[in-house]
Amino acid sequence: MPIITLTSDWGLRDYFLAVARGKIMSRLPGATVIDISHEISPFNLMQASFIVRNAYPHYPAGTVHILFLLDEETERTPHLAIRYGDQYFIGADNGIFSLIFDRPPDALVRLTDGEEAGRLIVPARDRFVSAAVKLATGHDLAQLGEPVTGWNEQLHFQPVVSGDVIRGVVIYLNRYENAVTNITRELFDKVSQGRRFIIEFRGETIHQINAAYGNVPVGEITAIFGSTGHLEIAINQGNAGSLLGLEVNDPVRVEFHG
């Protein structure tokens, strides 16, 4: 059964999502259409990439993912179709793919369907749907357009290790306003080597990482490694973002002792 996922900053109030889903179902009856998220902040590629990056590995081979974000085609942001591992991705080359993936794609084409003399004559939505339906029904990626060698790179922050200190930043605030950092468990364990530590942010300090939010009293600040494997700053049954003034790109510092 073909699976096509949709990710956008459209929200749920307008008709945009309904149209996209209707066009897919009209062209490919029986397809499974899954909404990854449509509540991404407008034009927020960093937020969208975090969501897609952590969602797509859980889908089966052959799944097609459409990204409806900053999807206007320009000379600098062509429309791309990508094979990465055993799944496909469709969207504008606005830098989002470099944020989602850790290595170059296995195959990459610039979409030319719906183009006349270099001018797009159909909406990006319709072009993406058309490409997704073709991929979901077994068309080869090479049939969709012209091969290209790479994608646009978008700068994203990596944690910096300096001696006994890891300097990271908040990269995402989820619905519960838990502040997800770019410090992974793997990096933390590598630098830590079992030593004591202090986590510093916004004038606050934490000396322990818990296995679950509920391991501290309600209303208390805690740090955990969440399901994504990233260090999170949270408040048990509270909103760390609002109550602690944490925002995306705020610094988080971990210093090890002993």
Average pLDDT, whole number, for the chain? 94
Do the strands 32-37 and 3-8 form a parallel or antiparallel pair, or are they unpaired? parallel
What pLDDT score does 1 carry?
81
- Give per-residue pLDDT as tens, 77-110: 999 999 999 999 999 999 999 999 999 999 999 9
| Other CB atoms within 10 Å distance of the CB of residue 202 | 15
Split at pLDDT 50, 70, 90, the class of 73 is: very high
High-pLDDT (> 70) share of the chain, %: 98
The structure's pTM equals: 0.90
- Give per-residue pLDDT as tens, 107-126: 999 999 876 656 677 789 99
DSSP H or E stretch at residue 204: strand 204-206
The DSSP string of 134-181 is: HHHTT--GGGGEEE-S----------EEETTEEEEEEEEE-TT--EEE
Instruction: With H, G, I as helix, E, B as strand and everything else as coil, classify residue 114.
Output: coil
What pLDDT score does 117 carry?
57
**What backbone torsions phi and psi does residue 68 show, to the nearest 5 degrees?**
-95, 75
Residue 156 above 80 pLDDT? no
Residue 25 above 80 pLDDT? yes
Joined together, the tokens standing for residue 21 give 């889903």
Residue 148 above 80 pLDDT? yes
Q: Where are the alpha helices (DSSP H) in the chain?
A: 16-27, 45-55, 96-100, 124-136, 185-192, 240-244
Cβ distance 220 to 235 under 8 Å?
yes
Split at pLDDT 50, 70, 90, the class of 176 is: very high
Cβ distance 182 to 201 under 8 Å?
no
What pLDDT score does 250 carry?
95
What pLDDT score does 116 carry?
64
What's 217's DSSP letter?
-
Split at pLDDT 50, 70, 90, the class of 72 is: very high
Residue 61 above 70 pLDDT? yes
Q: What residue ranges define each of the domains in the chain, with the CATH number in brackets?
A: 3-147 (3.40.50.10790), 160-257 (2.40.30.90)
What pLDDT score does 118 carry?
64
DSSP H or E stretch at residue 32: strand 32-37
Instruction: With H, G, I as helix, E, B as strand and everything else as coil, classify residue 91.
Output: strand
Alpha-carbon distance of 81 to 17, in angstroms, equals 20
- Give per-residue pLDDT as tens, 220-239: 999 999 999 999 999 999 99
High-pLDDT (> 90) share of the chain, %: 91
